[in-house]
A and B are shown apart, each in its own frame.
Chain A
Amino acid sequence: MNKPSDLKGLVLDPVTNDQRYIGNSEPRHSARRLLEGQGTYIDDIQLPRMGHVVFWRSPVAHMKIGKIHTEHASKMPGVLAVVDGVQMAKICKPWVATLGHLAGMKSAPQHALAIDRACWQGEPVVAVVAETRAQAEDALQHVDVEWEELPAVISMESALDPKTPLIHPELGDNLCFTRSLDVGNVDEAFATADVVAEATFGFGRHTGVTLEPRCQIADYNPGERRLTVYHSQQAPHMMQDLYCRQFGLSESDVHVICKDVGGSFGIKVHAYPDDFATVGLSMMLERPVKFVADRLESFTSDIHAREHRIKGRIAANKAGDILAFEINDLTGIGPYSMFPRTSAIEGNQVVNLVGGPYKHQNYRAHLDVVFQNKTPTCQYRGVGHPIACAVTEGLVDLAAQKLQMDPLEFRKRNVIPDDAYPCSGISGIKLEVLSHEQCLRTIEKMMDYPALRKEQAELRKKGIYRGIGFATLIELTNPSPAFYGVGGARIASQDGASVRLDPSGVVSVLVGVGEQGQGTEGIYAQIAADAVGVSINQVRLVTGDTDVTPYGGGTWASRGAGVGGEAVLLACQALHENILKLAGAILNRPVTELSIHRSHVLDKATGEQLLPFSEIGRIGYFRTDTLPAGFSADLMVTRHYTQKDYPFIFTNGVQASYVEVDPDTGFVKLLKHWAVEDCGRVINPMLVDEQVRGAIVQGIGGVLFEECLYDESGLLRNGSMADYLVPMANEMPDIEVAHVETPTQSSKLGAKGAGEAGTAGAPGAVQNAINDALAPFNATVFDQPITCEKILRALKKI
């Protein structure tokens, strides 16, 4: 098989004059401390007088809260406070998570601690704070809540039946949001098509399982009247804004600090009731309070995602052209839309993305987002993409099969050609520039497709059933203000970077986007080193501190490289110019005669070194008296960047999976996985590779293992790491990654996002590979996770 390295694409023009780091697999030097056990995650921080909070959470899916008895618990050793929803509501306002641009969307007011009713198993009701975690847990046993079980809405299928009880009667029904789209002439396309294929796709709820659970420390200082929150979070400025609004503080009174974050994946980009409760408790007690979810709490209170049932069909003609797609998506989101990003976005993305890679002209979609008494769902890595991709690609394979066309050939024929951009997708999405054709060519070569098909055919004769599955995908990244800003959510789409030449010549870079392990700080250091003109060990990064960094949106929708990286580039280029200006003033020479090379100002013509950066720093800070009157040595600059050219910058890619299915046991063995990814300019191939692989493995989790299982009464049946299966090293295949680089023209850097496409494509690729393996038996499975049992059922063996 070919190695991706043999398949080098075009080499992009450099971004800077002496580009040494951008585009190279530079190790993340700042990560060394993580390998030495010297990271600082929230639970590593201990503050003086710090209390620990644990929550009494609803034990059932839906209940009426009666009298709460706290006398006993309050007297337990070390207990500092026992607080219920009524007390909490005196200082923390309720919230309603809707977005203005999702027309007709509704949700009910939600409180930090439930009042009157709790609407899912795990909703926090009573908080217990004690001097130690163990004392708080001991006291929790003595909190006595009188409650009465209420009828619960569990199945999304019946959520809209008139007989089904209403979760929030004031809303009138259990419908959160609905959307319909009808473009082209779908009925005619289906009526005149040579082949029509249809299937119903199921997607199990799953959750992120960040290895470090959600956690925070709220520290309200009554002397300063200032709140500091140490938070394992992706969007510090968003949390600063929410805390100030929910508690009636001003922005300058709230300081959010994110140190090391032990995995996030979208789980840690939302504002949870227990976040607000912890802050409220710190304000009430005027001392620091730490909350660390234990694993059971994580499973019942971290957001879930992806519970969908989609009926889909596709129309094609004999020539092999896709004519139309139609889908009907039903999704359940729990009892409240999640704050502040809302739970309707996932389904909305499915509508936007189905059929997205293809050039068909007829599309109809209907979406119903319904409430249920289960853990709230919201954006988790890939948001809607894995669902849209698995549905689209599942249907594409069915059509290819009916036409007896090779699935890769069928895709090649139908993808939007690489020279057709910019253009609009049929759902109305704006596509700047994509590379489907090149990606398909690359993967074909990389996996040596003809050889693999031959191997598959030969093994089939011996009773070994292997399958090859493809998934072509598009992913939206680098979001513009059209995503949240226009809907009224105060989530910044712009991001900023401040960069400073320190007196010694070191470059300090402060960025609004932080680090959760993706290597964000690493790529910013690469960009800064190249753009200012220093070596990478002369660059220091500061992120995750709202008092210090420029205002920004943080990490979501794959915006770290494309938006944050561009801000760093712009700031560093401005600093580069300022250094030259200062050198001109010091040397009394026109700036046009000077240049910068590796921490020195040079004579542009001769290359002679004139001034080291340390000298620029010394004069710029300590001897400004020697500079011309009125000259200001601005050795710190800030630049912001918003992507405004498109609502999002779309990326694309293709994945292929090779599996073996045992028809006797239904067991699936993953043999190999390939991914070709086009994330525009690749700043660090090594980091992107493992991002892609990590994302693929999370996608594989969704298609084969992961599911939050509930019983009929709405109780989670597998709320532990022993029962909820996530992929482990042993079951995972080797994953080969190749890159196609089509830079976006919306920025100088040209980078698009890379964090989520892996998760978006893997479920579709693996699902198709399994169905390819099952083809000789005329069996298909479109219900994820695809378990052994479902395969055996499809084979009619059980």
Chain B
Amino acid sequence: MSLKKKVSMTVNGVTVNAEIEPRRHLVDFLREDLHLKGPHLGCEQGACGACTVKVDGQIIRGCLFLTVQADGSVVETVEGLTKSGALADLQESFMRHNAMQCGFCSSGMLLAAAELIEKQPKASREEVREWISGNYCRCTGYHAIVDAIVDVLEARAKGQKIKPVVAHA
């Protein structure tokens, strides 16, 4: 397999040029070539959502998406979205509710939740459950994740931000 293709894309705000095998999945490229640790691999078959990243504003499964498909695109991972502050409210809310345990599902869960907040700002608790049903969490029981997302939806509806969690001295 020596056939390689040139690709160019913006990953978390940085232009990346690379030569890769056409069969290389986007999540492998991000993880192994760019050393990004945020997107994880849970199943490599599109079932678990751990590999969720954003391509041109849409969340996709990095394990089902070929790197060559992302040629010319804007790719964002939890690392970039953390830096830009796009996930800040959700991250604070997840902290506050202990909406993660091992954290392996968290980057995918946060990206899915962020898209829900954008697309369905009035989502009910049931709709939140339905929306995140594409993402496995094997640790939490989901309840705290739903609580965390609902809190952000409510805060947004009131035009508020989630207060940062600080250690009380």
Summarize B's interface: helix, strand, loop or mixed. Answer: loop
- Distance (whole angstroms) from the CB of B88 to the closest CB of chain A: 10
CB contacts (< 8 Å) of B50 on chain A: these are: 211
Which residues of chain A in 20-42 are interfacial with respect to chain B, using CB atoms and an 8 Å cutoff?
Answer: 20, 25, 27-29, 31-32, 34-41
Q: Give A529's nearest chain B residue, CB to CB.
A: B167
The yes or no answer to B45 lying at the interface (CB within 8 A) is: yes
When the two chains form their complex, are residues B130 and A210 in contact, meaning their CB atoms are under 8 A apart?
Answer: no
When the two chains form their complex, are residues B129 and A690 in contact, meaning their CB atoms are under 8 A apart?
Answer: no
When the two chains form their complex, are residues B136 and A728 in contact, meaning their CB atoms are under 8 A apart?
Answer: yes
When the two chains form their complex, are residues A36 and B82 in contact, meaning their CB atoms are under 8 A apart?
Answer: yes
Residue interface bits A44-58, CB-to-B below 8 A is 1, else 0 = 101000000000000
When chains A and B are docked, how far (Å) is the Cα of A522 from the Cα of B155? Answer: 27
The yes or no answer to A517 lying at the interface (CB within 8 A) is: yes
CB contacts (< 8 Å) of A263 on chain B: these are: 101-102, 104, 138-139
Q: Which of B3-11, B31-39, B54-62 is near enough to bind chain A?
A: B31-39
When chains A and B are docked, how far (Å) is the Cα of A29 from the Cα of B110? Answer: 18
When the two chains form their complex, are residues B45 and A295 in contact, meaning their CB atoms are under 8 A apart?
Answer: yes
The yes or no answer to A271 lying at the interface (CB within 8 A) is: no
When the two chains form their complex, are residues A693 and B144 in contact, meaning their CB atoms are under 8 A apart?
Answer: yes
CB contacts (< 8 Å) of A262 on chain B: these are: 40, 102-104
When chains A and B are docked, how far (Å) is the Cα of A732 from the Cα of B137? Answer: 12
When the two chains form their complex, are residues A37 and B42 in contact, meaning their CB atoms are under 8 A apart?
Answer: no
When chains A and B are docked, how far (Å) is the Cα of A263 from the Cα of B46? Answer: 19
Name the one of A38, A517, A690, A726 contacting B37, with C-beta atoms under 8 angstroms: A38
The yes or no answer to B100 lying at the interface (CB within 8 A) is: yes
Residue interface bits A680-694, CB-to-B below 8 A is 1, else 0 = 000000110111111
- Distance (whole angstroms) from the CB of B141 to the closest CB of chain A: 3
Which residues of chain A in 105-124 are interfacial with respect to chain B, using CB atoms and an 8 Å cutoff?
Answer: none
Residue interface bits B135-169, CB-to-A below 8 A is 1, else 0 = 11111111111100000000000000000010111
When the two chains form their complex, are residues B103 and A693 in contact, meaning their CB atoms are under 8 A apart?
Answer: no
- Distance (whole angstroms) from the CB of B146 to the closest CB of chain A: 7
When the two chains form their complex, are residues A690 and B45 in contact, meaning their CB atoms are under 8 A apart?
Answer: no
- Distance (whole angstroms) from the CB of A150 to the closest CB of chain B: 31
CB contacts (< 8 Å) of B132 on chain A: these are: 729
When the two chains form their complex, are residues B143 and A734 in contact, meaning their CB atoms are under 8 A apart?
Answer: yes
The yes or no answer to A626 lying at the interface (CB within 8 A) is: no
When chains A and B are docked, how far (Å) is the Cα of A265 from the Cα of B36? Answer: 27
The yes or no answer to B67 lying at the interface (CB within 8 A) is: no
Q: Which of B104, B143, B146 has the most CB of A within 10 A?
A: B143
Residue interface bits A732-764, CB-to-B below 8 A is 1, else 0 = 101100000000000000000000001000000
When the two chains form their complex, are residues B47 and A720 in contact, meaning their CB atoms are under 8 A apart?
Answer: yes
The yes or no answer to A399 lying at the interface (CB within 8 A) is: no
Known contacts: A211-B48, A294-B44, A728-B136. The answer to whether A516 contacts B102 by CB under 8 A is yes
Residue interface bits B96-112, CB-to-A below 8 A is 1, else 0 = 11111111111100100
CB contacts (< 8 Å) of B146 on chain A: these are: 729, 734
Known contacts: A27-B165, A535-B167. The answer to whether A35 contacts B106 by CB under 8 A is yes
When chains A and B are docked, how far (Å) is the Cα of A32 from the Cα of B146? Answer: 18
Known contacts: A37-B37, A694-B139, A694-B140. The answer to whether A212 contacts B104 by CB under 8 A is yes
**Chain A residues in the interface with B (C-beta under 8 A):** 20, 25, 27-29, 31-32, 34-41, 43-44, 46, 134, 138, 208-213, 260-265, 294-295, 516-519, 535-537, 686-687, 689-698, 720-722, 726-732, 734-735, 758
| Closest 10 pairs (CB-CB, A-B) | A37-B38, A34-B103, A693-B141, A517-B102, A262-B104, A517-B101, A37-B78, A721-B47, A730-B133, A537-B167
**What are 29 A-B interface contacts by the 8 Å CB criterion?**
A20-B168, A31-B103, A36-B38, A36-B79, A36-B91, A37-B38, A37-B107, A39-B104, A44-B31, A209-B136, A210-B138, A211-B48, A211-B139, A262-B103, A535-B168, A686-B97, A694-B140, A696-B141, A698-B138, A722-B46, A726-B136, A726-B138, A728-B142, A729-B128, A729-B132, A729-B145, A734-B146, A735-B143, A758-B141
